[in-house]
Structure 1
Amino acid sequence: MIIPSRSMDMRHLSKYTVSAAFIVITLLVYLQGSPNLYAHHTRPDSSFHTTAKSHYHEHYHHNDSAETVGKEPSNEFPDLKNFNESRLESRPYKPYPAYNSAEWRKRWQGSHRACVGPRGVEVNENPADMPKAYRIQEPLTLPEPVFGSYHESGLDADHCFDRYSRLESYGFHGKKKRTNASMSVDWSKVDWGSLQHKCLLRNEDRFCHIPSPDATLTRLRAPQSANELGAHQAHNKHQQHPAAAQKDKKCKKRTAVVLRAYQEMTYTKDLSMQLRALISELSLHSGGEYTVFLLIEIRHAPKLLTSPTIYKFALHAFVPREFHNITLLWSVPSFTLPWYPGTNQALNQMLHMDQPLQLFAHLHPQFDHFWMMELDVRYTGHWYDLFANADAWARKQARRLLWERNARFYMPHLHRSYKEFGELVANQTVDGGVWGAPASTTSSLDPEGPTPPYPHPDNDTDYEWGVDEDAGFISFAPILPGPKDPTNPDWGIQKGFATPNSNDSAPRTYYLDATPAVRFSREMLGIMHATTRDYGVDILPEIGPATFAYLHGLKAVSFPLPTFYDPVGEGQPRTLEEIERGFNAQGVRNTPWRWGRGDRWNAVFARLTYAWVISRWEQFGTGIYRWWIHGSEVGTLGEKGRKEGRGRLCLPGVLIHPVKEGDVSGV
């Protein structure tokens, strides 16, 4: 038997070698025997920072001015090959708060200390460790999205990134024959887990609660005793997280970014660059505000987590060396089943997608928030700009009519400002809307969210309740109400619930069909964990989080993500009025999400840059990303078509899903 050496690059294993790895692991499991389940954009001071102000504000202030909608939405992104490059200059881009400034110190405890990156120097003052951006000014102009808004969300629309300026710091060279020596890195010798943890320790006085020295590198595990499992113990709604206990010290809460994957994942050059960007921009430059993890399910060797030898072999077989110490392996028999013995793990595994994250949060008390992302998500802008603005914007949303605003696509060219959009929603809501947890629930449910301060939402005339409250759940797509009966075949979710330990009828559901990138609070995942553990509930990830938030009266927010749309074929809505009528049709019988499993609306949703269906129709976001990363596009992008040949698209921050392995081959 050959154990892969630490220097082997497992990305280049053939299918036959991977199959052999499965066989070896299975033999090792057999030889080890059966396991015992209970056995052990305010600008920093920097001469090379881009000259524009940051769009990120820790205190988000709602912009009441009208959205700038002087031109129709389009998809005509600038191609730098069409401009005189002597007039264009990319500069290092840092959309971070003014760390250690007098204003910053009024709000936060401790000091921000620069962290060492993959090139062995502190990243905050090293241009080679930063993405570069082009300032949007004549002759450059950017198109405007149909849905969402840079203006209202706080996201930066004053800069754009081409493939070189965005990814060269993380290993992209394109057609360049030679690379600047300062940019060169032997990625196989980088240990991202160690870099993240050392960065955190440099900044430990800033945070409310940090782990023991090796806690971020530990493995996931099964319950160590029956007492720890605590079957049918009530969830303590008043239990205080360490961060909350020190609120008066202005400590910074921390966020985990958990990337879900399976053992078959191929770590292409494009995917590896995306992982490096996430870690560098979210963790290292921020001084440990975020920590990035890979959460990988090992499906073909279910007992491997009980053996250090097998675990080490699987880690070498399926994950590139640079990511070993950010990776946590798990399997159903050795992890989720021992924690949730009342669930039916033999059901469709789609019913269990949230369970590993629930347990991750349970075993990692140092985090207050948890982003869960799929590995086929790409962002052409800066990750910190996206996540920090999503958090700040969600925190400033009032609870009154929030569920009703969540259920609609915001279209600034029709709705104007977000304030006017809210007024439109209010005028269309006759019963006051959702106000706290619903009055009628299942007999076993004890809502854990706060009680509304007024008996009726109309009493909250100034929209105050919920402002400055952290969101329990954030989605980059609308959150829509579904049918009272989840077995309704029109919705394609008739197998979305499984509650073997409860005879209660299913409540009305708030249906979310967008799981590529979502954020949970610790409280939210704690409720989901306790419900799964105590009642054996299995639920689709498109349904579960929003439903739990609704039933427990937690704050759920749909972020107005700038999303571009490119209709093709017959029958797809084209004018703004047609798009509004189609996407924002209300009622469980009229909404297009009712037909979300059918070809007609699958084809429509596929033409969004952030699409949450995998369609046999061409995905618009995928095509844009191919053109951006390759410099050419194979096939068509919309009925107008695109010019083929070499080019350098310059994109603002565009969140794209899905981008599959075959879409970026040859990068």
Structure 2
Amino acid sequence: MIIVSIALFKTGDGIVPGSRFAQPSETPSAQKKWDEDLKKMPWLKFPPLNGYFHGLKALVAKSDHTPEYPNPAHQAPLGEPPLSQDIPTPKLYNPYSSDSTVEVCYLDKNNTIPAPNIYAYEGVPQYMPDPAIGSHSIFGIRDDVCFDRFGRYGPYGLGYKLVDGGSDVGIDTESSGSETVWEQTGQINYGQIDWADVQDRCATANKHRFADPDPDTDSLKIAEGKKGRIAVVIRLYTGFKWTQLVVLNFRAMINELALRSGGEYHIHFLLHVKDNDLPIWSDDVAVQLLLDANVPPEFHGLVTLWSEAQMELFYPGKFEDPISKPPINNPAMRGVHGVFRSAHLPLQVFALQHPEYEHFWNWEMDMRYLGNWYELFDRLGSWADKQPRKLMWERNERYYIPVHHGTWENFTAAVEQYTKDSGKPGVFGPVEFPEGKKLRLEQQGGSYVPRSCADGVDSPECGVGEAADLITLNPIFDVHGSAWVFANDATAYGKTPPRRCAIITASRLSRRLLMAMHEEVWRYHHTMFSEMFPTSVAFHHGLKAVYAPHPVFLDRAWEPLGSAVDKVFNGGRDHSTSAVGSPFDLRNEHNHKGATWYFNSEFAGLLWRRWLGYAQQDNRGKDGHRKSGGKILGGKRAEESEDSSGRMCLRSFLVHPIKFESPDEKK
């Protein structure tokens, strides 16, 4: 069953005065420009949502919460909510399961400073919108609490001075009631911390919980009661501008993923050395100088260096040279070993060098999370592992839009109907094509399809409980006919093979997928553009790949409810993101500018900086967009005013890209 919303306030001639849509300007020249903009950016006609910016004095229980959007009973915007006179008190936030085998991890060698907790507020600001795409509930991520900047980052140094071991960040913002987050631990001094030592001590204390690699095969021996560990590999590069806010983010990742979990995760920085002449594998002095110039001392021990020249040594030989062919094969006009086209190469090498990990989260420097990192990664992983293989690729190529599709069960039924209507069978197992090559496991009679599928894809157990080889954070779409700009950047296949892609390289990859990718490159010299290779290798060889529809919010009230978002974001073949009409077509990608998660999002940065307490230019008003109109909103004076709802408090979700955070950075 598909829920289809009906447009309100709409006529055949355009926008009705008094409707929820934005109004065009009155002068003829402005009207003409408005009409031209609407042809290119139709989302401009929708009014901006302001419910994100309500604060702590507007909190209500989730049962009393009225979302500004999507909401079939009310038109957006909803205005100002009722306010309390008091700032509520936050509570410790603990998304970890109770496990008696976990040894407590400490920040200091004397075991006197346990890994801290973050804080959350019970309830949600009244009128805060719900996700337009994706969901909290299907993963079991709580959406009945919200996080302010002090509860989220105060335990890591936000709100107190650098000389006291803090960050000097947040001191100049509204802070009433923030002292609660330091009542149990005090303001922790991070001045002399060595995160590599902290993580290693935690891992050693919890070694009994995790599987060890077989010294003969390098594969993990996961005995009963043991877990496979997970690496979080953060992609760094020389010349990156570190700020105290960046430092806070990675302190949070290490504490929440590695320490609070009892060593389940381990954080690494994979540093791209852009100067190919530097002897990064043969000169310790050169390495130390690089670290001193490019990484804060507290993270030095977590860094692994690599260069593009090094990748040429790991993957030698004659690769097909698309630069000499028509530009469509290599629109970037860059070499095949470079990070832009083949960012997976150093990750493959990293996995080779670290057989102790079962999975690897590939992560970037400009991503932030409102909420607890462990809750996000753990819940996405658990959910993906439970997904059946039947119609997996068909679900993967579609955005889940709750107000349009209804429940997740309704969505899966709709996907099955779309597949039947298409007249094409669903994808299952390895995909054969003339240019495809078998990997050694396949040549020896092995398969990447699990035993649970022995009775066929229709078995209800097929794939259920099988660890996902790939978890992506955007749909996995068929690039053929999609007009995605890098769709034909596939090296050494002879003819263009069937391809799948997920925009943004942030993802969880299994060790066996990375080893399959490694083998494709060194044996066959196969590779593809960075965002296409992991998904395509999984597609070709029958590995389990899953798109996890995490919560994504929109900055405007798209109408008609549900169907408008579906028409644009699932505008490709058979109501999907694939082929002609794809939202990833270069001509359609502008629709993501108002989303909280996409490489060209503008709303993500605006929302994040307002949440941090900084005044921002908001250009989303009527007939205003990126280059005109707008007002300065938010900041200390606004949050402290008598009629303000206080500092912002948001439910958990990912934001990307965050190119700058404080006003000083932009200057």
Check whether TM > 0.5. yes
Q: Choose from 506, 513, 521 the match for 1:532.
A: 521
Q: Aligned letter for 2:305?
A: L
Match in the other structure for 1:291 = 266
Q: State the one-letter code of the partner of 2:105.
A: C
SS in 1 for 2:341: helix
1:215 aligned residue: none
Q: What is the CA distance between 1:560 and its match in structure 2?
A: 1.5
Whole-angstrom CA distance in 2 between matches of 1:370 and 1:258: 7
Alignment root-mean-square deviation, CA: 3.3
1:321 and 2:297 are equivalent in the alignment: yes
Structure 1 segment 15-26 matched on structure 2, within 5 A: none
What does residue 223 of structure 1 align with? Answer: none
Partner of 1:90: 90
Matches for 1:221-240 after TM superposition, within 5 Å: none
The 1:74/1:282 distance shift into structure 2, 3 A limit, reads: farther
Structure 1 letter corresponding to 2:618? G
Please, which moves more after superposition, 342-351 or 549-558? Answer: 342-351
Structure 1 segments unaligned to the other structure (5+ residues): 1-67, 101-110, 213-238
Match in the other structure for 2:619: 636
Amino acid at match of 1:315: L
Give yes or no for contact 2:583–2:589 (8 Å, CA) kept in 1. no
Superposed counterparts of 1:135-154, under 5 Å: 135-136=122-123, 142-154=128-140
1:80–1:648 CA contact under 8 A, matched in 2: no
Q: Which residue of 1 is the match for residue 287 of structure 2?
A: 311
Q: Secondary structure at the match of 1:293?
A: strand
* In structure 2, distance between residues paired with 1:80 and 1:317: 49
Q: CA 1:78–1:536 in structure 2 vs 1: closer, same or farther (change >3 Å)?
A: farther
Letter in 1 for 2:604: G
* Aligned pair partner of 1:429 in 392, 414, 419: 419
Residue aligning to 2:190: 187
2:431 alignment partner, one of 424, 434, 438: 438
Q: CA deviation at 1:416?
A: 1.0
1:648 corresponds in structure 2 to 647
Whichever residue aligns with residue 477 of structure 2, its letter is: L
Aligned residue for 2:491? Answer: 498
The equivalent position to 1:550 in structure 2, one of 533, 539, 564, is 539
1:204 aligns with 2:202: no
Distance 1:379 1:585 in 2: 28
Superposition deviation, residue 122 in structure 1: 5.7
CA-CA distance at 1:150 after TM superposition? 1.1
Is the CA contact (8 Å cut-off) linking 1:78 and 1:650 kept in structure 2? Answer: no
| Structure 2 SS opposite 1:295 | strand
What runs of 5+ residues in structure 2 fail to find an aligned partner?
A: 1-68, 160-169, 322-333, 625-629, 640-645
Out of 558-567 and 544-553, give the one that drifted further: 558-567
Write the mapping of 1:301-380 to structure 2, written as runs, cut at 5 A: 302-305=277-280, 306-333=282-309, 335-342=310-317, 343=319, 346-347=335-336, 349-380=339-370
CA distance in 2, matches of 1:155, 1:96: 12
Distance in 2, Cα, partners of 1:77 & 1:95: 32
Give matches, 1:60-99, under 5 Å.
82-86=83-87, 88-99=88-99
Partner of 2:607: 624
Which residue of the other structure, out of 557, 576, 597, is the alignment partner of 1:610?
597
Q: How does 1:504-583 map to 2 (within 5 A)?
A: 504-515=494-505, 517-567=506-556, 575-583=561-569
2:130 is aligned with 1:130: no
Do 1:368 and 1:522's aligned partners in 2 also have CA atoms closer than 8 Å?
yes
Determine if contact 2:123/2:146 at 8 Å carries over to the other structure: yes
- What secondary structure does 1:591 align onto? coil
Q: Distance in 1 between matches of 2:217 and 2:615?
A: 53
Q: Look up the equivalent residue of 1:657 and give its one-letter code.
A: H
Superposed CA deviations along residues 372-416 of structure 1, whole A, max 9, x for unmatched, are: 111000001100000000100001100000110111110111111
Whichever residue aligns with residue 632 of structure 1, its letter is: A
Q: Give the conservation status (yes or no) of the 8 Å contact 2:453–2:463.
A: no
Q: Alpha carbons of 1:310 and 1:426: their partners in 2 closer, same or farther (altered >3 Å)?
A: same
The code of the aligned residue for 2:400 comes to Y
Q: Contact conserved, 1:78 with 1:651, CA < 8 A, in 2?
A: no
Q: Deviations over 1:251-310 (max 9, x none)?
A: 011000000011111111111000000000000111110000111111125333121110
Q: Per-residue CA shift, 1:516-552, capped at 9, x if unaligned?
A: x211000000011111112223321111111011001
SS in 1 for 2:363: strand
TM superposition score normalised by structure 1: 0.74
Q: Distance in 2 between matches of 1:404 and 1:120?
A: 53
Q: Quick check: 1:169 aligned with 2:167? A: no
1:85 alignment partner, SS class: coil
The percentage of aligned residue pairs carrying the same residue is 28
Question: Closer, same or farther in 2 for the Cα pair 1:332/1:454, shift >3 Å?
Answer: closer
Which of residues 465, 468, 473 is equivalent to 2:470? 473
